[in-house]
Chains A and B, each alone.
Chain A
Amino acid sequence: MSRGMRAEERGAAGGLWPASLGWLFVNRLQVVLYILVLPHVLLYPYMIWAIVIVGFLSHFNLRLLAGWLRTEEARLGYEGFVRLLGERATRALAVPGAAALLLDSAIVTLDYLEVAHHVLFPSVSRLTLLPLLWLVSFYLAGQGMLLAGRFVVMAFIGSVWIAALFIQFLFPPAAEYRLLLPVFPKEPRGDLALILPALWAALSGPQYLAFAGRRFAPAGRMFRWLALGNALTVLEYIVFFLAVTLSFGTEYMRKIDYPVVQLIRYIQLPFFERLETVVIPAHMILYVFLDAFFILFLRDALRVAAGAARKPERPGWLTAAAFLWVAVVYVIGRFFWTNETQHRLWIHVHVWLAGALYALVPSFLALAAARRRRRSDRTLT
């Protein structure tokens, strides 16, 4: 224990992320997609159990991720991937990796911009806030991976209080508890084949940490921190889901585009109303963190794909990544996200893409590391 602590302190002094940052990473990377996913899928009261079940599955997935982060290969960064897969495969995989990353981050960002457009600025283009978001993310990315990663603390502090606003909706007069029935239905309604993947996608996000292994200070208790973050996410989701269900009920919830935002608008403080004008911009801090993170990963992926990973770092790569990112977001937002139907389509794309990445990346890497370990053991004997 004390050795672990010391290792963490050393890590922090040496410019690494302490393992205790892990729960913040997991938690914020997961919840950032929540507003996007919930309203379209979780309609019936019994789905509260689905949140718990998928939360458990995610827990085991994080065990794989923590296992991978403990390996030597994860600590080596690029060299580790080359050791596992070979240089050519690493470079080849970086291309679809970058594409998936771009698509994922574009959808997440655009969905946020869509909410801001819908609620705050209905009479201007949904891309109005994009330059601001991009500039801030670019600036943050320019501070380097280490600082951008530590910004998760700010993102957490800046956004976690939003969940506290919903606690009042768990009590009367806003809450009608009977709306939660039947919570163990004999004939469940709704399409579980769509709900479970969507929930899984709502818990995705931590897979990106798999590529940041060398940033973490070596410490043995990584998994506990990751699991804590996951548990906190599940708790937050349950609070949100209960608040929305108790206030709207299944039938009304179905009719509303963003029940979560609708509920924020319902809050009336004696000294302040229309809280959504503060909550939605404050939520942007999460996207600043996320997009800076994505831009940095994109830069790394581009360098790997171009075969420049071993060369000394040049700032041009970051600029290229930032411009590529904003260009993709703009093009998708401007031309392929113009109506409700396309919006739905992108949500589905996101559910399957993010879900697949979250399921595959940790297990694939853990498996590859295990295979290599077995092979090297064999060669040793």
Chain B
Amino acid sequence: MRALAALATALILAGCAWIDPATNVVEEISPTILMYLHLNEDSELESTIVVPAVKNEQKQVLTARGKTLKETRQKLNFGYSREFKSGQLRMLFLSEELARKGIIRCLNTLLLDQEISDRMYLAVVRGDFTGLLRKQIQEQKNYDRILYKRFRHYEHQVTSQNLHFFLREYYSPYADPRLPLFEVRDGQLVYSGTALFLDDRMVGAIPGEADAFFQMIDNGKGYFPNITSPEHDVVLGKVTTARKIKYDAKNERIVITVHLEGQVDEYTGDLNLGDPQEAERFMRGLKEDLEARILEVVRSLQELSVDPLRAGLSTVTLFRERFPGGEWRKRWPELTVTVRVDLGLSNLGMSKPEE
């Protein structure tokens, strides 16, 4: 029995064996949780990290330049007192310049590195992110961790992608990847929509104002604290959405149905929502408005000929692929898309005070 216990221990702990020439003594290494990649004017890769991630020391922002990702990493190591390790890397920020040139080579390098988790968040940044990091790390010591917490918190409300999902969509013939787009504005990192990719190159973006409508059709289920419709003078709150994408083979079109539930949080318009007829008019108008806005988002995707909605997947049936090979790519921009919104609003009546 004792021999058995020893055996079991030896086997389980084999994964921790210190037989690697690359040592992992905690005092000698410095993990990082954030990395930023940028392509500068000379087409050189610039990689920036924040170290140390855990120790109670003054944090530093380090930058190195090189032709390849690994070259920059080596330079980072030479320029710092401890070896930097990517085992805890949780966020990878890519500059817009790099994203527009193509990122698959960088991602491939990261995928091959067995230390790096596929759960690493990816994001595109517009503006001087290195400068922002330098400034913020002085003001908020744990800025890198705060960013990570932010990613985790908003996972279901804004675009949030990790390496795994990005690559799955990159390789799929029926989908295109998308990443969250951040902007450095007045010393803050502002979420400003969704970056759209064709293959591995960023080709456009859904702006921040339209992003909620993109989210509604991007996720099977969504939740939004607020949706604003200025045209109808209304703010909807506690909005939950469920969307379905179907391919209508007879009419060769894509039908997107969004079921939306929520309540009227603020209403500044002139209709008396307590009156059933006026309420119905209001609902119809709002529904048409939402449909039009969603359709606008879809149109902009079709114009860029990207399909981040994975609409192509709904054309595959149990028995066959209707658009095998790369055919979906060619057909998607020309397809007719119909958007239907099912509106289920609660709490309408008391919004308008009696005059």
Q: How far is the CB of A132 from chain B (nearest CB, A)?
A: 7
A257-280 vs B: 1/0 string, CB under 8 Å?
000001001101000011011101
Q: Is the CB of A277 within 8 A of B114?
A: no
Please report the C-alpha to C-alpha distance between residue A255 and residue B167 in the assembled complex, in whole angstroms: 10
Chain A interface residues (CB < 8 Å from chain B)? 116, 118-124, 128-129, 132, 136, 139, 154, 158, 172, 176, 178-179, 181-187, 247-249, 251-252, 254-255, 262, 265-266, 268, 273-274, 276-278, 280-282, 284-285, 288
Q: Is the CB of B19 within 8 A of A128?
A: yes
| Choice from B118, B168, B319 contacting A265 with Cβ under 8 Å | B118
Beyond contacts A179-B313, A182-B316: 8 other A-B pairs, Cβ-Cβ < 8 A, are A123-B20, A181-B316, A182-B320, A182-B321, A248-B168, A249-B168, A251-B172, A251-B173
Q: Is the CB of A123 within 8 A of B22?
A: yes
Q: Is B78 an interface residue (CB 8 A)?
A: no
Q: Cβ of A288: which chain B residues have Cβ within 8 Å of it?
A: 7, 11
Q: Is the CB of A265 within 8 A of B220?
A: no
Q: Is the CB of A136 within 8 A of B114?
A: no
B113-148 vs A: 1/0 string, CB under 8 Å?
010011100000000000000000000000000000
Q: Is the CB of B310 within 8 A of A184?
A: no
Q: Sort A-B residue pairs by CB-CB distance and give the 8 closest, nearest first.
A: A277-B15, A281-B14, A251-B171, A178-B313, A252-B171, A181-B316, A281-B15, A252-B168
Q: 8 A–B contact pairs at CB < 8 A?
A: A118-B114, A121-B19, A124-B19, A186-B319, A187-B320, A252-B172, A277-B15, A281-B14
Please report the C-alpha to C-alpha distance between residue A247 and residue B321 in the assembled complex, in whole angstroms: 19
Please report the C-alpha to C-alpha distance between residue A331 and residue B183 in the assembled complex, in whole angstroms: 57
B43-66 vs A: 1/0 string, CB under 8 Å?
000000000000000000000000
Decide yes or no: A285 and B19 within 8 Å by CB, A178-B313, A248-B168, A262-B118 being known contacts.
no
Please report the C-alpha to C-alpha distance between residue A255 and residue B117 in the assembled complex, in whole angstroms: 17
Q: Is B8 an interface residue (CB 8 A)?
A: yes
Q: Is the CB of B19 within 8 A of A154?
A: no
Decide yes or no: A123 and B21 within 8 Å by CB, A251-B171, A284-B11 being known contacts.
yes
Decide yes or no: A136 and B7 within 8 Å by CB, A118-B114, A122-B114 being known contacts.
yes
Q: Cβ of B249: which chain A residues have Cβ within 8 Å of it?
A: none
Interface centre among B117, B170, B173 (most CB of A within 10 A): B117
Decide yes or no: A281 and B11 within 8 Å by CB, A121-B19, A249-B168 being known contacts.
yes
Decide yes or no: A178 and B310 within 8 Å by CB, A158-B8, A284-B11 being known contacts.
yes
Q: Cβ of A278: which chain B residues have Cβ within 8 Å of it?
A: 12, 15
| Choice from B4, B14, B22, B318 contacting A129 with Cβ under 8 Å | B14
